[in-house]
Chain A
Amino acid sequence: MPARLQLLPLALLVACGGGTSTETPSTEGAPSPAPAAEGGGTITIDGSSTVFPITEAVAEEYQQGRKTRVTIGVSGTGGGMKKLCAGEVLIAGASRPIKPSEVELCGANGIQLIELPVAYDGIAVVVNPQNDWASSMTVAELKALWAPEAQANVTKWSQVRPGWPDQEIHLFGAGVDSGTYDYFTAAVVGTEHSSRGDFTSSEDDNVLVQGISTDKLALGFFGLAYYEENKDKLKVLGVDDGNPANGDGPILPSAATVSDGTYQPLSRPIFLYVDAKAATRPEVQEFIHFYLEQGRPLVAEVGYIPLSDVAYGMVKQRFDAGKTGSLFEGHGSTIGATVEALLGKP
């Protein structure tokens, strides 16, 4: 036995040593030049979990019959931006516009970004199907309900709108680390990342669906795609932003009302950010063109709302022109704007 036991640590050392010696590490900061099997290159993408399903669908179709490899990581919008600005990936998906700090970081590393809106994401405000009193809410009511001051004060349906039952209201919301939460608070409360804290939150929207569908007194918000998939278990509320310019009265969320800009303020564009240097590589150009030209049905298939054909055309032009910088000038979301309106800005 001693002979055999003596070999054990040795074998482990060999296994471990073998791992380190096979390939020399690539230089730091180089945009992941992992060579593909037979040419074609690798397109490295990271970022938001909201954008992920769209990019995954596009990559899946794009790779049919092509040698180019597409890899996608999900480290969140912030994580993806950091990697993009460190030159570790070529493209980042983002569920919000770039922040000033990120613009600075990229600039410090000499990286310019091209901003490409690729789809809309709506946020649905939903209640239990047995809720027979509420069918819509105004933004003012939502604000009164979700603002930090509402904590422990607004606890009954009757406090939201006179005439609604004098019963407890049970709140559910997207996790506070999600882009959905950030956008909802910005649009409804008026301050990003600020809301009451006494609600059931989960990073997994399916948990929220489950919670609301079993609680008659529940009200919650999450990505529109999750409502679309669970229509039979939930009841969606119309939202009235009080601005007749984009539709009078409460508007129910749908592909049409989101993309024509009438479901306001709870719809927003989501983005790809592309490293401008990488945008000159043929495989990246081909991939982005594919994304913008053939992505439309895929966006809808995975539960999001595509831009209009006109808007996709404008985005493609922007990419081809290599136009860097942000439409939002690093100032966060412009609440409730359509992509056409944004791109059409002089």
Chain B
Amino acid sequence: MPDPIKPVRIETRGLRAWFGAKEALHGIDMVFHDREVTAIIGPSGCGKSTFIRCLNRMHELVRGARAEGQVILDDVDVYGKDVDPVLLRRKVGMVFQKPNPFPTMSIRENVLSGLRLTGRLDRSRAEEIVERSLRGAALWDEVKDQLDKGGASLSGGQQQRLCIARSLAVEPEVLLMDEPASALDPIATARIEDLIHELKEQYTIAIVTHSMQQAARVSDRTAFFLMGDLVEVDDTDNIFTSPKDQRTEDYITGKFG
């Protein structure tokens, strides 16, 4: 059971998002608790990915996309005028649906890429960071002898864990995961889920998933999105056993989706 007294880490207030003229989110008010896993579920096109991409302002990188409203992270509105989205993303890391290691870089370079890209790499600590990040992503034992091999030569599941290690290396506080296991086989998926369990000791995690079983397995709280609206958010147990909204119940019982 989740600890109900965990403090709020992120809060969205009236968050709306558009792709061009099409509104994808209609004003979302929701909170994420510190060091908990919050799962976001819903049918395709319900806005769940858009929602978490608004949290670290990745959404606005898409041509013609924009967002409105507030996202409060540690008392700061990340959409405030003086907030640099680049610095925000160093604090709020992201793992994507499809594993996307940098193809021109080795495993080691991939792990260090965040720090190196942004010119913050302390060379004397490089080896330590590589090991810590890869251990954190439960990949160290598999790749420790081939750190100079290309990142793209790993299997899909390993690549995704490499991407997680890459995110961890920049020492974020929040991790956003956009269907991180949807491109992986069941065994690799299980490893990622185990990893999420470990990571929540240190990180606040938001995970978008299309799999209700996965949400039930990994998350403390679950939010159900439908057509750009937040229908219901509650402790995961409550959502899956006694949803308050009829639409939530219809979705989790497989009546649509």
Contacts and interface: CB of A to CB of B under 8 A. Distances in A.
Interface of A: 1-2
A-B pairs, top 5 by smallest CB distance, nearest first, are: A2-B116, A1-B104, A1-B109, A1-B105, A2-B109
Contacts of B116: 2
Interface in B87-111: 104-105, 109
Contacts of A1: 104-105, 109
Interface in B31-62: none
Contacts of B104: 1
Interface of B: 104-105, 109, 116
A1 B110 CA distance: 12
Contacts of B109: 1-2
5 contacts: A1-B104, A1-B105, A1-B109, A2-B109, A2-B116
Nearest to B104: A1
B87 to A, nearest CB: 22
A2 B104 CA distance: 10
A1 B116 CA distance: 12
A2 B109 CA distance: 9
A183 B105 CA distance: 68
A235 to B, nearest CB: 69
A1 B105 CA distance: 8
A173 to B, nearest CB: 60
A2 B113 CA distance: 10
Contacts of B105: 1
A244 B109 CA distance: 94
A134 to B, nearest CB: 73
A6 to B, nearest CB: 11
B26 to A, nearest CB: 43
Contacts of A2: 109, 116
A1 B104 CA distance: 9
Nearest to A2: B116
A2 B102 CA distance: 12
Nearest to B106: A1
Nearest to A5: B104
A6 B109 CA distance: 15
A7 to B, nearest CB: 15
Nearest to B105: A1
B12 to A, nearest CB: 37
Nearest to B116: A2
Nearest to A3: B116
B112 to A, nearest CB: 10
Nearest to B113: A2
A39 B105 CA distance: 57
B121 to A, nearest CB: 11
A129 B116 CA distance: 79
B224 to A, nearest CB: 44
A2 B110 CA distance: 12
A129 B107 CA distance: 78
A306 to B, nearest CB: 69
A2 B123 CA distance: 14
B99 to A, nearest CB: 21
A2 B121 CA distance: 13
A45 B104 CA distance: 54
A273 B13 CA distance: 85
A2 B105 CA distance: 9
B130 to A, nearest CB: 16
A127 B242 CA distance: 106
A154 B104 CA distance: 71
A52 to B, nearest CB: 53
B68 to A, nearest CB: 38
